[in-house]
Chain A
């Protein structure tokens, strides 16, 4: 009985809240997108009518087995992960591309070991009509530069984004950056041709086993613990660039979504948050917020009242 009332309320709410946004010319029915690596094919059914786009797990050129366990650990208000980009590789991904078709724009996250490999993947995807945009996961190490991350600084960012721009033939391209050096990297990415910026990736973190006295996990921190850091990155970057910013980091509620948009985000990704709360609930809360505030979703972008 309660469930039916909630479902009806949600349907009514969706009907009177204007959720649509436009991202790089791509219309999204809602400003909510899954963060790379947090939505599997098996779970697509649960997010119809919730997310504005589909974004599967990061794809690499060759298949990757991923890291040996343990790959995850809990942390206060979050979790640490070191999955290791397990995926079946680009060829297999493209073969099975139809599996991700639920009538929503498809964004593809890619990662590579070298600039050349990044560009080669962009070129392959450029010819694929079913792919609406490509997100560059720049947190991985560039093996041609001694393992320095692609997002380690403006020169590295500029090099990889420019190469990808040249190979993308106009397909929208988002550069996903870390919080470290976000503004400088964002400016470099925009100058090199990124159409949007996704901020932020996970934060480098460590989990120690105090009894075994060893490192239990070395990976990236996600979840509500990082939200204030992510918000700051979105805020500072969106004030310096003209391209849209996609905010991500610790979103678990509808007001979190609003906060990221107010801080400057055009759209918001939900990652670890979807492991603890249904994205449908997050969207419903966002709808309630919009109705209470009497605004549409697109009104919120950058709607921060400066002190």
Chain B
């Protein structure tokens, strides 16, 4: 599944997916080049939650990585 749309819709897709889903996030951005860290989204890697920058490290993320 490839999804792009409002946050609520993406959350529902993430919740419902039984096949891998890639979600294109639309985050508020100020610099859009990785500098300000304003567009950070929570991801879960190796059990810990960190914030990654949607502008340069996304904006498409595998659904299972996101930690909303």
Residues in A with CB closer than 8 Å to B59 are none
Residues in A with CB closer than 8 Å to B36 are 37-38, 72, 81, 83, 275
Q: Give min CB distance, A74 to chain B, whole Å.
A: 8
Give the bracket for the number of chain A residues in contact with chain B. 20 to 34
With contacts A65-B49, A65-B50, A66-B51 known, is A71 near B33, CB below 8 A? no
Cβ of A39 under 8 Å from chain B: yes
Cβ of B31 under 8 Å from chain A: yes
| Contact assessment for B35 and A39 in the assembled complex, using a CB-CB cutoff below 8 Å | yes
Residues in B with CB closer than 8 Å to A83 are 36-38, 40
Interface residues of B in 51-68 (CB under 8 A from A): 51, 56
Residues in A with CB closer than 8 Å to B49 are 65
Residues in B with CB closer than 8 Å to A189 are none
**What per-residue 1/0 map shows which CB atoms of A39-52 lie under 8 Å from chain B?**
11111001000000
Q: Tell me how many residues of B have a C-beta within 8 Å of chain A.
A: 20
Q: Chain A residue with minimal CB distance to B33?
A: A43
| Contact assessment for A38 and B31 in the assembled complex, using a CB-CB cutoff below 8 Å | yes
| Contact assessment for B42 and A68 in the assembled complex, using a CB-CB cutoff below 8 Å | yes
Cβ of B23 under 8 Å from chain A: no
Once bound together, how far apart are the Cα atoms of A83 and B38, in whole Å?
6
Q: Which single member of B31, B41, B50, B51 contacts A275 (CB below 8 Å)?
A: B31
**What per-residue 1/0 map shows which CB atoms of B36-48 lie under 8 Å from chain A?**
1111111000000
Q: Give min CB distance, B2 to chain A, whole Å.
A: 23
Once bound together, how far apart are the Cα atoms of A65 and B51, in whole Å?
6
Interface residues of A in 73-110 (CB under 8 A from B): 73, 79, 81, 83, 86
Residues in A with CB closer than 8 Å to B56 are 40, 42
Q: Give min CB distance, B30 to chain A, whole Å.
A: 5
| Contact assessment for B34 and A40 in the assembled complex, using a CB-CB cutoff below 8 Å | yes
Q: Give min CB distance, B53 to chain A, whole Å.
A: 8
Cβ of A146 under 8 Å from chain B: no
Once bound together, how far apart are the Cα atoms of A275 and B36, in whole Å?
9
Q: Give min CB distance, A55 to chain B, whole Å.
A: 11
Q: Give min CB distance, A108 to chain B, whole Å.
A: 16
Residues in B with CB closer than 8 Å to A79 are 30
Cβ of A210 under 8 Å from chain B: no
**5 extra interchain contacts, Cβ-Cβ under 8 A, other than A37-B37, A79-B30, A81-B36?**
A40-B34, A43-B31, A69-B28, A72-B36, A83-B36
B binding-site residues for A, Cβ under 8 Å? 27-42, 49-51, 56
Listed A/B pairs (16) with beta-carbon separation below 8 Å: A37-B36, A38-B31, A38-B36, A41-B34, A42-B35, A43-B34, A46-B33, A65-B51, A68-B51, A69-B42, A71-B40, A81-B30, A81-B38, A86-B40, A275-B31, A275-B32
Closest 5 CB pairs of A and B: A72-B38, A40-B34, A40-B35, A42-B34, A275-B31
